Amino acid sequence: MIAVLKPGTTQQQIDNLINWFKGRGLDVHLSVGQYRTILGLIGDTSKIDVELLEGLEMIESVKRITEPFKSANRKFHPDDSAVDIGGGIKLGGGHFQLIAGPCSVESAEQILGIAESVKASGATILRGGAFKPRTSPYDFQGLRAEGIELLLEAKKKTGMPIITEIMNQNHLPMFEEVDIIQVGARNMQNFELLKELGRTNKPILLKRGLANTLKELLMSAEYIMAGGNNNVILCERGIRTFETYTRNTLDLSAVPMLRELTHLPIVIDPSHATGMARLVKPMALAAAAAGADGIMIEVHNDPANALCDGAQSLTPAQFSEVAEKVRQIREVIAE
């Protein structure tokens, strides 16, 4: 971390500041220039509050050289993490998983039918929304508790681990048998929820917020990990841009960029990103080519009549085709 001091800072002030840093276990390198004095701080600066520093009158600017995330940082954990999903399945560290299922759980036969169909095509984890975050209070909000029950039944019958979204920390008891808890984009900075999930040891799939940076995504992962739960999976699901033809813009460069910054696994969700079934296939293949550890795809047996987001769901037959091509592309990049 580098702190640039304002012109006119007195020697006394500089000494006080240096002592303050040393009291926090940091080494300080002083560089006195013609116009400005610069302090280089060496050591673990991840716990230094930049805004607090910038508030000091003598400080002109503060710049981090190392990243403010630590548990998620690849520098301190060079090997890829593999998150243990249960049922003998891992995600990350070379273990690729295909997650599939409907946007919303609608009925026992719907979720079971889709589960069996996507399992036959190569999906290894079943997704399905029970609690649905909707912009309007008047839109369908999911089957809620009942939806989780139906997912658990489908899990029992097919043996597939399940993933579903949490929106309220008080619902945690319902998620006891859920294999991966999803945090949605709108809750990425719901810090109280993140802290609560940090106290569990559940795998958490953390979706990037609609207008959040990768650094903010990693800082939110850090909230969970700081509580002791290292089972975090990152998920890129499209960010908000000025483009209106697609619902969001899928940022695939997040895959290699996050790969460099962190040891955590990275999943891509092309269905929510594009909002259109016919764009899911090319984007899923591109995600595989970019090196994602997992791809999460919406599949519905009757997309045209789905209660929610039908426009972006594949049919089981389309999913099967995508799964096969993804497999082939992964072979090409593995060689």
Within positions 240 to 259, which residues make up the interface with a second copy, using CB under 8 A?
240-246, 249-257
- Tell me whether residue 18 or residue 89 sits nearer to a second copy (CB atom): 18
- Tell me whether residue 66 or residue 153 sits nearer to a second copy (CB atom): 66
Whether the CB-CB separation of 237 and 273 falls below 8 Å is answered with: yes
Whether the CB-CB separation of 194 and 224 falls below 8 Å is answered with: yes
User: How many CB atoms are located within 10 Å of the residue 255 CB?
Assistant: 21
- From 11, 12, 34, 79, residue interacting with a second copy (rule: CB under 8 A): 34
Q: Decide: is 107 part of the binding site for a second copy (CB under 8 A).
A: no
CA angle 188, 189, 193 (to 5 degrees): 85
Q: 153, 163, 156: which is closest to 109 by C-alpha?
A: 153
- From 167, 205, 266, 296, residue interacting with a second copy (rule: CB under 8 A): 167
User: How many CB atoms are located within 10 Å of the residue 159 CB?
Assistant: 12
In whole angstroms, give the CA distance from residue 137 to residue 69: 36
* Backbone torsion region of residue 261, taken as left when φ is above 0, otherwise alpha when ψ lies between -120 and 50, otherwise beta: alpha
Q: Decide: is 122 part of the binding site for a second copy (CB under 8 A).
A: no
- From 54, 146, 176, 177, residue interacting with a second copy (rule: CB under 8 A): 54
CA angle 208, 193, 144 (to 5 degrees): 90
Q: Decide: is 19 part of the binding site for a second copy (CB under 8 A).
A: no
Which positions from 265 to 284 touch a second copy by CB under 8 A, shown as an x/- string? Answer: --------xx---xx--xx-
Q: Decide: is 42 part of the binding site for a second copy (CB under 8 A).
A: yes
Quick one: which segment of 79-87, 112-120, 162-170, 173-181 binds a second copy (CB under 8 A)?
162-170
Q: Decide: is 286 part of the binding site for a second copy (CB under 8 A).
A: yes
Q: Decide: is 68 part of the binding site for a second copy (CB under 8 A).
A: yes
Q: How far is the CB of 211 from a second copy (least distance, A)?
A: 3
